[in-house]
Structure 1
Amino acid sequence: MGCGPSQARVLSQAPISSNPDEFFPYQGSGPWHTSRADSVMQPRLAKSGPASSEDCPPVTLQELLKKAAEEKGDKLALKVERPCPSLGSDGGAPPAFPDEEWKAWTYREYYDESRQAARGFMKLGFEAFDTLAIWGFNTPEWLLSALAAGFAGGKVGGLYPTDTPETAAFKIVHSGASVVVIEDKAKLERLIPALAQRGEATTRIKAFVAYGFEPEAQQSVEVKGSAKPVLSWSQLMTMGKEAKDSVTESSADPLELRLKAVEPGHCAVLVYTSGTTGEPKAVMLSHDCMVFETRTVLNLARAHMGLCAQAEQERVLSYLPLSHVAGAMVDICFPFVATATTPAWVTIYCARPYDLKVGSLGDRLRIARPTIFLGVPLVWEKVADKLRAIGAANSGLKKKLGNWAKSKGLKNSKARLMGGDGAAPFAYGLANKVILSKVKAKLGLDCVKFGATGAAPIRVDTLQYFGSLGITINEVYGMSESCAACTVSTDQAHLWGSCGFQLPGVEVKAFKVDPADISKKEECPRAPSMDDLGEEYQGELCFRGRSIMMGYLGQPDLGADHVREIERKTAETIDTEGWLHSGDKGMITKHGMVKITGRYKELIIGAGGENIAPVPIEDHIKACCDGVNEVMMIGDKRKYNVALITLKAVGANGETPGTDQLDAGARRINPNVSKISEALRDDVWIQEVTAAVKSANENGKVCPNNAFKIQKFMILPTNFSEEQGFLTPTKKLKRPIVENAFKKQIDMMYSSSETYVRYED
């Protein structure tokens, strides 16, 4: 296994081009979007540079998978533990399989089986421009199906494994899915009644294919009064083989005819937004925007960190939802694009479905030893919690050595921030060899060349903690609508608290936008530094370029009013100059680094009209009290701010709220208190949280005046989770829903004279 990042020099400013020829000119007034699934969005090519046809020729995903198979067909592409062991009677995960016992697919098999599955889908009635919906956890069959949809002339629309049956039914109908690939029997049983509520719009569905269970012989389910077959994966593949065998030399191959008609500007993937309000919208991503995005990030990572620079295996652990844009880019697109265009080859290791829930992801990490690892903030913070708890339990010489090594690691990481001298402190090599490298090996992160975080804001203290271990977490920022990252930081250009610099070939700017017309805007001046937070520097972050979405999908099956509404929402997102409006408030420094300061929809408008960004205040409280899990400020159009606070609990993983048992750092606040229900009335706990709130209130950077301060708070008896509808699948807080759910408790705080208000049902 190839391990370890290359040692990169540190830049003094972001590597951003000012050459206009390296950006698409956007001449005319557009429109620069479409809501039709069968439209072609011509590649937005620059004259030169990364976005040009010379550096990144327009091509389909399927063409690149073919190239990977032709050039490195014997290299491993996919790996999974089969059969996946069930959880033990104690709820724990059985030991990981040794690497050599994982079931594997080569790139030749990946290519051949994707095409075979495509023939099977076509036999079931999958037409050109149709959508293949997939509902389940990450497996090779998920990936094979996703590529098969393109081979069959259509697109893939993934569903989150945690979607409710009602949400899944909406996405299946809205996407225009003709075939539904489904993981387990329970999902199918819950889906059918939900589809029944969708009426005539379900008539497109031709069949269901199961990859996680074996359907009964000749099984079918009724959808809108019609029986739809339920096939096993092996039956689908047999059907595909028979279809291939029926092709003769004298007859045209239906698969090749379909594939020949697919253009780089056609839609390849639908990504449903996990927005905090309203029904999800389907982002249409073309083959070209996905390939450009992947190659551009890959080229940066190759130049700055040595990823894919050598003829060796690179590895990814697939555990984030493949239905999310990050999963689609890192787990689906990146491996074969990198394998086709660099000396390296990339192998995907699939995690077990329960790894995040039961905390056994580390078992897979230690087998896969990924060289690229993307974690949402919750994942990084959970790992940090465990490590801090272990460190706090140490004593004597072991504790002193650990603290010494981490202090060296932190100094080294600070020296490697942008503008630093990059010089390792005295004895850092020894600290890394004796202690830090062993910690990284135990985590399974000792081979990481490109560690990254995205999808939600991450706390600076988390970045600093991993920096003390010698692990650089690079922030990426973007949206589904921008095909994932539009900014990225690398080991050469990295600053804690910044989400990086604009991708080559992509424009990112901060604008003061006219509230009545998004096309009327004025660019904000660049801030002198990250700490200069004057309002004149801050505006809405907007981006444009080759990686921007085609538009939101309008589904004609849902009526003309629906299509017009989606077209309106698309036009409210992409203006007449092609700028995609993010809704995020931020700024760009003179050195080219982007900083997010808030989200416009989340801003609290104080009694005096102040625009209050809650996240920096909330993060400060969490950093000050290791027992706090989540903080949510409330105060919009109210006389002052209050906060709902949750504590770290066993089993609280974002999907479920967890138990009443305190976990990790929360256990150290008061060793005599082991439950949340006890902490609610414990003086030590109340004092600790009060002190953290007071610290935020007294910090001039996050609370520049009294309007920003939190006057009262309440500790909730449970954590926020997807299960309750309080978090999105990417673990963003659905603030309006939380505020509505706890309206009674919020009113209690505003009517109380106490700083800490005890929770009551």
Structure 2
Amino acid sequence: MSDTQTLIENRPPSVAALFLERVAATPDAEAYRYPVPPASGEGPDDWKSLSWAQAAERVFAIAAGLIELGVQPEQRVALSSATRVEWILADLGILCAGAATTTVYPQTNAEESAFILSDSESKVLIAEDAAQLAKAREKRAELPELTHVVVIDGTGVDSSQDEGDWVLTLAELEKRGAAVLEKNPDLIKEKVAAITSDQLATLIYTSGTTGRPKGVRLPHDNWSYMAKATSATGLISAEDVQYLWLPLAHVFGKVLTSGQIDVGHVTAVDGRVDKIIENLPVVQPTYMAAVPRIFEKVYNGVAAKARAGGPAKYKIFQWAAGVAREYAKVSQDNFRRTGTASVPFGLGAKHKIADALVYSKLREAFGGNMRACVSGSAALAPDIGYFFAGAGVHILEGYGLTESSAASFVNPGEAYRTGTVGKPLPGTEVRIADDGEILLRGPGIMEGYHKLPDKTAEVLEQDGWFHTGDIGELSPDGYLKITDRKKDLIKTSGGKYIAPAEVEGRFKAVCPYVSNILVHGADRNFCTALIALDEPSILGWAKENGMEGKSYAEVVAAPATVELIDGYVKQLNEGLQRWQTIKKFKILPRDLDIEHGELTPSLKLKRPVVEREYKHLIDDMYAGSREA
């Protein structure tokens, strides 16, 4: 048995147990870094730190406080907050109490929040602020199981309108817990020792594209396995500094906290997406996980900045981008064949010049120390991946689902291959079904859907194989390439199958102004596209093209803008098979967003929602065609 297998098979029963081991091993080492905005509201944030021992003090107080509120093992405690250090402390507190965390996105409306709280039978809600508390108050009559709401940031919270201690602050909960621990200092150690690997740890509701979300039951063993398997990949070490901004209500964010506890590195936590560009040079992380949309935004921003510098500067950027892609493709291909990422002398010389002019500035924007970024949740357009790879910002694509505890595949360090999601994590099995569907089996697979045995049986076979719903192919040496969602594959009326994600990804690499694109064509005789533009990029272009001062809606409706995007669509079509080409397109009057329900909180496109909302535009594109 290999060291890796031993490490994984001898894993502790829970991440709570791993946390206790980490605190005992490195109590004084820095665990978390978090921002404190200035009192005046102006100027840079002040970053504070918590050592593992300081974090444990708060985690144990939260755990003891929840026990004092009557929370029993496996009972659910809901957590509705943006990503912040208190989210992690609260989650660990829930786990150390032997309870289970129900994650709720802070953007979730009152009705859906109430459904999740009710369906999960959550006993306590830990809410970020007054806005999250207001949703629970509004639906309180529908939530008889909910005995308490704990508010992280008590600003503007008036608890006098609630009887008893239905509402209390996190500080008050910790104070109660500390008093409990004074009388019984070993309470939490005893609770953690009693946790078994099959006990429920997390209940994550998938943001379904149709109907009610399903609660995915993930026992403690899933996270213990994830912690050991991610550290066994060798991709993270004790010297790393992670920048964590992803939504922790999402399974991808959650897995990052487990691996960190196992290796003991520093994590800087700040979920404010608008602060990423400002924070990276301050935190100077060595790795960061993100979703493709973030890399697309950075790419579009760099391209727009170059264009604003004038034709000469933009020409240099375009040349450097081409060199980066060629360099990445050649070096990855050579590494695959020979084990060394060598490139011909001429290409290396061009790359050196491009590095001085363009790439070095890009790496500085990422903080200067970025060893690798991990991308997941959706496919990254290969041309964007190659650009970053050639520029020295290595993006390791990974793959997993909520049902597989997020990380089933990841690209292996130096041997990563852009356009693939890498190899399975140690201990995870994969096979491709006859129809191309990816099947997974291993310790990361869910127990099932909460209170939905029929839905569980649809995707989980009795011998443990899980049907992902994704279509993919495996290379002879075990690298997985995702081609599309099974249900998203388009079959034209001419009988041709098209993977819309592939076409959409290609367009994002060609057009620097795109934010979102949806390719449509199921049962039609040609493909069309709905295109949403990136506001800062297109307004920058508009300013240079005689439309300064015009609103976003006016700019995207202008004939010059349609002509601009038409040029990129033609460029896209040159590289596609005839049946894949986009014959017509419409530019949307606004970008797609989470608030309108068109994107999931992890920024995935909800195709049925967008197609329903813009049905009139789709119908208009097919009006007058032979099928109309």
Any idea what the Cα deviations from partners look like across 1:321-347, whole Å, max 9, x if unmatched?
Answer: 1110111011x21221112xxxxxx22
Instruction: Give the counterpart of 1:719 among 591, 597, 604.
Output: 591
Instruction: Answer yes or no: is the 8 Å Cα contact 2:231–2:262 preserved in 1.
Output: no
Contact 1:452 1:474 in 2 (8 A): yes
Q: Does 1:361 align with 2:301?
A: no
Cα distance in 2 between the residues matched to 1:85 and 1:108: 27
Of 643, 646, 651 in structure 1, the residue corresponding to residue 529 of structure 2 is 643
For 2:377 and 2:565, locate their aligned partners in 1 and report how far apart those are by CA, in whole Å.
27
- Aligned match of 1:731: 603
Q: CA deviation at 1:398?
A: 6.6
Q: For 2:595 and 2:246, how far apart are their aligned partners in 1? A: 17
Distance 1:59 1:53 in 2: 13
Do residues 230 (structure 1) and 167 (structure 2) align? Answer: yes
For residues 27-67 of structure 1, the C-alpha deviation after alignment (integer angstroms, 9 at most, x for no partner) is xxxxxxxxxxxxxxxxxxxx766344676423311111111
Q: 1:288 to 1:190 in 2, by over 3 A?
A: closer
Distance 2:508 2:11 in 1: 46
- Which residue type is aligned with residue 347 of structure 1? V
Tell me the CA shift for residue 246 of structure 1.
Answer: 2.5
Structure 1 partner of 2:553: 677
Q: 5 Å matches for 1:147-158? A: 147-158=92-103
User: Do the aligned partners of residues 750 and 232 (structure 1) sit closer, same or farther apart at CA in structure 2, a change above 3 Å counting?
Assistant: same
- The reply to whether residue 495 of structure 1 matches residue 422 of structure 2 is no
Please tell me whether residue 164 in structure 1 is matched to residue 104 in structure 2.
no
SS class of match (2:306)? helix
**Paired AA for residue 440 in structure 2:** F
RMSD: 2.8
Distance verdict in 2 for CA 1:696–1:399, change over 3 Å: closer
| SS of corresponding position for 2:415 | coil
Deviation at residue 408 of structure 1 after TM alignment: 5.8
CA deviations over 1:329-381 (Å, ceiling 9, x no partner): 11x21221112xxxxxx222222x5x32xx33111111111112111011111
Other-structure match for 1:246: 183
Contact 2:324/2:387, CA 8 A, preserved across alignment: no
**In structure 1, C-alpha distance between the alignment counterparts of 2:514 and 2:55, rounded to whole Å:** 45
Q: Paired residue for 2:147?
A: 206
Q: How far has the Cα of 1:719 moved from its partner?
A: 1.0
Residue type of the alignment partner of 1:317: Y
1:57 aligned partner, one-letter code? R
Give the conservation status (yes or no) of the 8 Å contact 1:79–1:104.
Answer: yes
Q: Work out whether residues 640 and 711 of structure 1, in 8 Å CA contact, stay in contact via their aligned partners in 2.
A: yes
Matching residue of 2:329: 414
C-alpha contact 2:599 2:606 (8 A) present in aligned 1: yes
CA shift at 1:601, angstroms? 1.2
Offset, 1:727: 0.8
Determine helix, strand or coil for the equivalent of 1:348: strand
Q: Displacement, 1:598?
A: 1.4
1:107-133 per-position Cα deviation (integer Å, ceiling 9, x unaligned): 011112111111111111211111111
Within 5 Å, which residues of 2 pair with 1:655-670?
662-663=538-539, 666-667=541-542, 670=545
Q: Is 1:180 aligned to 2:129, yes or no?
A: no
* Aligned pair partner of 2:448 in 551, 560, 576: 551
Say if 2:134 is the partner of 1:189. Answer: yes
| Pair 1:401–1:693, CA change in 2 (3 A) | closer
Report the TM-score, using the length of structure 1 for normalisation: 0.76
Alpha-carbon deviation of 1:753? Answer: 6.5
Conserved in 2, the CA contact under 8 Å of 1:642 and 1:749? Answer: yes
Aligned-partner SS, 1:239: helix
Q: Secondary structure at the match of 1:163?
A: coil
Q: Is the 2:460–2:466 contact (alpha carbons within 8 Å) kept by the matching residues of 1?
A: yes
Q: Quote the sequence identity (%).
A: 28
Give the structure 1 partner of residue 259 of structure 2.
334
Secondary structure at the counterpart of residue 73 of structure 1:
coil
Q: 1:616 is paired with a residue of what secondary structure? A: helix
Please say if 1:375 is aligned against 2:323.
Answer: no
C-alpha contact 2:8 2:427 (8 A) present in aligned 1: no
1:316 maps to 2:231: no
Q: Is this contact kept in 2: 1:56–1:292, CA < 8 A? A: no
Which structure shows the higher helix fraction? 2
- Residue-by-residue CA offset, 1:709-743 (whole Å, 9 max, x unaligned): 33322111111111111111111111111111122
SS class of match (1:50): helix
1:480 matched to 2:402? The reply is: yes
User: Which region of structure 1 is more displaced relative to structure 2, 540-549 or 265-274?
Assistant: 265-274
Task: Work out whether residues 669 and 688 of structure 1, in 8 Å CA contact, stay in contact via their aligned partners in 2.
Answer: no
**Residue of structure 2 in register with 1:507 after alignment:** 429
How many positions carry a matched residue from both structures? 618
Contact 1:621 1:693 in 2 (8 A): yes
Tell whether 2:510 aligns with 1:585.
no
Gaps of 5+ in 2: none
Structure 1, unmatched stretches of 5+, are 1-46, 88-93, 340-345, 514-538, 555-565, 651-660, 755-761
Counterparts in 2 of 1:611 and 1:406: CA distance versus 1, 3 Å: closer
Given that 1:133 and 1:159 are in contact with CA atoms closer than 8 Å, whether structure 2 keeps it comes out as: yes
- Stretch moving more, 239-248 or 571-580: 239-248
Q: Name 1:35's counterpart in structure 2.
A: none
Q: Does 1:74 align with 2:19?
A: no
> Is the CA contact (8 Å cut-off) linking 1:316 and 1:370 kept in structure 2?
yes
- Find the residue that maps to 1:595 and give its secondary structure: strand
Contact 2:129 2:155 in 1 (8 A): no
Which of 28, 36, 44 is residue 96 of structure 1 equivalent to?
Answer: 44
Distance 1:233 1:428, change over 3 A: farther
2:89 is the counterpart of 1:135: no
State which drifts further: 78-87 or 498-507: 78-87
CA distance in 1, matches of 2:106, 2:54: 26
**Worse-matched range after superposition: 416-425 or 159-168:** 416-425
Q: Which of 422, 445, 457 lines up with 1:571 in the alignment?
A: 457
SS for the counterpart of 1:417 is helix
Whether 2:234 is the aligned partner of 1:301: answer yes
Closer, same or farther: CA 54–587 of 1 in aligned 2, 3 Å: closer
Aligned 8 A contact 2:557 2:587 in 1: no
8 Å contact kept, 2:405–2:444: yes
- Alignment pair present for 1:108 and 2:41: no
The answer to which structure, 1 or 2, has the higher relative contact order (CA under 8 A, 6+ apart) is: 1
- Distance in 1 (CA, whole Å) between partners of 2:166 and 2:375 is 41
**Alpha-carbon shift at residue 595 of structure 1 (Å):** 1.1
Q: Distance in 2 between matches of 1:219 and 1:428?
A: 68
In the alignment, is the contact (CA less than 8 A) between 1:436 and 1:470 conserved in 2? no
The aligned residue for residue 498 of structure 2 is: 612
Judged with a 3 Å threshold, the aligned counterparts in structure 2 of structure 1 residues 624 and 163 are, in CA distance, closer, same or farther, namely same
Could you tell which deviates more after superposition, 282-291 or 405-414? 405-414
Q: Do 1:75 and 1:106's aligned partners in 2 also have CA atoms closer than 8 Å?
A: yes
